[in-house]
Amino acid sequence: MKEFDTICAIATALGEGGIAIIRISGDKALDIVSKIFKPKSNDDIKNMKSYTMKYGHIYDVETNELIDEVIISFMKGPRSFTAEDVIEINCHGGVVSTNKVLETVIKAGARLAEPGEFTKRAFLNGRIDLSQAEAVMDIIKAKTDLAMKSALMQSTGHLSKEINKLREYMLNVLALVEFAVDFTEDDEEVDPSIPLRVGESLEKAINEMKVLLKGADEGKLIREGLSLAIVGKPNVGKSSLLNALLREKRAIVTDIAGTTRDIIEEYINLDGIPVKIIDTAGIRETEDVVEKIGVERSKEKIEEADLVLLVLDSSRELDDEDREIIDAVGDKKCVVILNKIDLESKIDENIISNFENIIKISAKEEIGLGDLKNTIKELFFSGKIDAESLIISNSRHKQALFRALENAENALSRVRMNEYLDLISIFVTSSLRALNEITGDELEEDLVNKIFGDFCVGK
């Protein structure tokens, strides 16, 4: 285990609450807390047993002023989250009281932790690998039960087991190659069974990599969410659709064109998928300065969205403004929504016949919303969303796995062309390195620091 200084941070969300937790990790954790904590029992806390708690008070190390009434818990390394000695101070919640206890801990000799430093130490001390460490942040940021479940599976090492199995295949290939090179004389041919066994190992690895990559795009959506932009000209029912999907009156709905002048963003849970719905300002030519800014933002959101919901008023004939918006979304993945079907239809559907996905709804009467939700799921997920299987949800993992697959396929094609085994080993080694990047066995220090830099302080 590596030697580090002792760090501290507030581990709970800062604000008013019954309890806040300050986490301290490092080999001097007990020494530091013993300077500021007086237990009610008057025992020496340096003799505390692991996984026990003590009640007492925190005092300022310099003035001996009473700071707070607390309970401390002790977890002795390596059987702790960071694999170091860890003490957690359970103090009263609230910005002032919590910060006062934190300042006292720092005065006693601890250093304020950097973002993600506790989890980084767990990784550097070998308690968890990098994929498990990244899953910790995914658990914190999860917006749905499915995202939480996916992150939890990764945090408990499900992905690590799969990657280690793939690494075994690659190491087996390298061992066979090394055996063939070391034990074959110059005038001898390579044992014909060795290329066959190399090919078998590569084929197994390639098939399992493809299975993992198959759901990677879906996994990214489960982790990061799906971005839907509701677009259309003013007064076609965009805000009514947002309100219907959210089942609350989030956007102002009036008969006055141009009511929505800025972007409204809200999340819904679509069968475990976090969906960010963006209600945009109606797109039209306008002289109003504020509305014009809103229209420009709407056009930007069309470019950024994963899916565009183009809303048309079926109770009116299409005009030039409608046609311009239809042209603007032509290259995007799009669902055309014919709204207001509770009224007499006057729209010429031949104009939109080139769109694959056309849904008829009444946002006001909440008709057709189920069809819309099913269409969204079908566009992004191949059948039923699988909540039980391991899903690659991290873009970094996907890229590394894709490079591993690419190199493995390159190696296999060269085996089939009877190329020299030591040349093939170059591609196998590259594949192995890519797999090692996922678990952190082979990763640049700068990238490790960047990954943990995105964590919150105290985690």
Q: Does the annotation place 325 within a ligand binding site?
A: no
Q: What percent of the chain has pLDDT over 90?
A: 24
pLDDT at 43: 84
DSSP state of 88: E
Instruction: Please give the Cα distance from 110 to 68 (Å, whole number).
Output: 18
- pLDDT band per the 50, 70, 90 thresholds, residue 257: very low
> Pick the residue with more confidence: 141 or 309?
309
Residue-level pLDDT at 103: 94
Question: CATH number of the domain at 228-379, please?
Answer: 3.40.50.300
Instruction: Return the pLDDT at 293.
Output: 56
Report CA Rg, the chain.
Answer: 29
Span 100-140, pLDDT tens digits: 999 999 999 999 999 889 988 988 888 888 888 888 877 77
Q: Is 41 annotated as a binding residue?
A: no
CB atoms within 10 A of CB 137: 20
Tell me which residue has tokens 């797109």: 283
Give the separation between CA 272 and CA 206, rounded to whole angstroms. 30
Residue 403: CB atoms within 10 Å = 16
Which residues neighbour 200 within 8 Å (Cβ) at sequence distance 6 or greater?
A: none
Domain locations in the chain?
Answer: 7-128, 136-220+391-454, 228-379
Partners of 229 in beta bridges: 278, 308
Contact 337, 311 (CB under 8 A): yes
pLDDT exceeds 70 at position 249: no
User: Is residue 158 over pLDDT 70?
Assistant: yes
Q: Find out whether 281 is annotated in a ligand binding site.
A: yes
Comparing 245 with 111, the larger pLDDT belongs to 111
254 is annotated as contributing to ligand binding:
yes
Fold of the domain built from segment(s) 136-220+391-454: Four Helix Bundle (Hemerythrin (Met), subunit A) (1.20.120)
**How far, in Å, are 248, 364, 378 from residue 242 at the CA level?**
9, 11, 20
**How high is the pLDDT of residue 187?**
47
Confidence band of 253 (pLDDT split at 50, 70, 90): very low
Least confident window among 17-31, 62-76, 334-348, 442-456: 442-456
243 is in an annotated binding site: no
Report whether pLDDT(171) > 60.
Answer: yes
| CATH superfamily, region 7-128 | Probable tRNA modification gtpase trme; domain 1 (3.30.1360.120)
Q: Is 64 annotated as a binding residue?
A: no
Flag whether 408 is marked binding: no
Average pLDDT, the chain: 80
